[in-house]
Amino acid sequence: MAKIENKDIIEAIKEKTILEVKELVDMMKEEFGVDPSAVAVAAAPAAGAAEEETSSTKTVVLTDAGASKLQVIKIIREITGLGLKEAKDLADNGGNVKENASADEANDIKAKLEEAGASVELK
């Protein structure tokens, strides 16, 4: 039997309908006892972890909202997508505004919050 090249398999899959591809995946699960989606999901976090170790990430920590708390709450909501109550609690009590932000993003967030009168730390 002649060996089929990967590019030929891809070309054949391109010609199939979504239903036919789903049936093919189901057949592969049954034949090989492996769920291809589980393999893809398991590989993604491993790749992300390696990338995270090499990149410089920061946590933006609000230490004090300052005198202009309303403006700080608006900025927190814009950055985090939190509701009004949650953003107010964060402004009142301090805490992490954004975790695992890139260094550039963390500096931008810090600048916005400090411009509004808040005290911010990067960790």
pLDDT digits (tens, 9 = 90+) for 46-93: 555 544 444 588 999 999 998 889 999 999 999 888 888 988 988 999
Say if residue 45's pLDDT is above 60.
Answer: no
- In this structure, the answer to whether residues 77 and 114 fall within a common structural domain is yes
Examine residue 85 and state whether it is found in any structural domain, yes or no: yes
CA separation for the pair 39, 36 (Å, rounded) = 5
CA separation for the pair 85, 78 (Å, rounded) = 14
Say if residue 43's pLDDT is above 60.
Answer: no
Say if residue 120's pLDDT is above 50.
Answer: yes
pLDDT (0 to 100) of residue 2: 78
- In this structure, the answer to whether residues 47 and 87 fall within a common structural domain is no
Contact (Cβ atoms closer than 8 angstroms) between residue 83 and residue 54: no
Contact (Cβ atoms closer than 8 angstroms) between residue 72 and residue 60: no
- In this structure, the answer to whether residues 75 and 20 fall within a common structural domain is no
| Residues 107-111, mean pLDDT to the nearest whole number | 91
- In this structure, the answer to whether residues 48 and 70 fall within a common structural domain is no
- In this structure, the answer to whether residues 61 and 88 fall within a common structural domain is yes
Structural domain that includes position 85: 57-122
pTM over 0.85: no
Number of domains in the chain: 2
Mutual angle of helices 69-80 and 84-93, in 10-degree steps: 120
Tokens 């005198």, residue located:
67
- In this structure, the answer to whether residues 22 and 66 fall within a common structural domain is no
- In this structure, the answer to whether residues 72 and 105 fall within a common structural domain is yes
Examine residue 88 and state whether it is found in any structural domain, yes or no: yes
